[in-house]
Amino acid sequence: MGIMDQISSFFESRSEDFVPMESMDDKFGPPVVLLFGMPDGIENEEIKDMVSDGAPLASSTETGIQVKRICGSPSNLKWMELSMKEALEHCIDDFVDAPAKLNTSYNVQVSTLKNKIEEDSATEDEELWKPSCPVIYCSGLSNKETMAIYNILASEIYEETGGMARAACAKAVPPAMEKPVMQVITEIAGDHMEAIENKDSS
């Protein structure tokens, strides 16, 4: 079986999990970018600049773009058990609760996820869960700006990790909204790594 046959067979078996970008509405969901497994060496200000550069139209609107860095720390595990729809809504709630934005040309707010779902006493910084590769998950952005953000961030991640990490990218689609965040991201990362392995071995 050739590589194209393998890819075709793979996507047929997961047809309910994927929606080709050209077949869906240009934008779906609130304007949010979730970053999983982002290298610590990439600062929030750098991410803000890269997202602004990749999505100038979305980031120049009044609502702008909310960017959340997610780690699998004990205090965040409850959040990752939410459905993707609920998680995206919480990101927008954070925007509403945040102080008034600075008067800048581009409105991109980058922050690390703070657990607001369940207060607990967990203070460990140890990650209990981490995807097999960094994942960039975009919601509410056009296909063009989604790909531009991915190309910029993925290149930076690759360079920061010395070529060790090749980031995956996905765009919010209706079939994923009811699934838990951790499941969605695990599937995206797993599929991405499988595709890389198939490509490298061909």
Residue 120 in this model has a pLDDT that exceeds 70: no
Average pLDDT over residues 159-166: 96
Is the pTM higher than 0.85? The answer reads no
87 against 106, higher pLDDT: 87
Backbone dihedral angles phi then psi of residue 33, each to the nearest 5 degrees: -125, 120
Predicted confidence (pLDDT) at residue 142 exceeds the cutoff of 90:
yes
Note the pLDDT tens digit of each residue in 15-32: 445 445 454 457 899 999
Q: Computed from CA positions of residues 18, 94, 158, 106, in that sequence, does the dihedral angle turn out positive or negative?
A: positive
Nearest to 28 by CA among 138, 181, 129, 183: 138
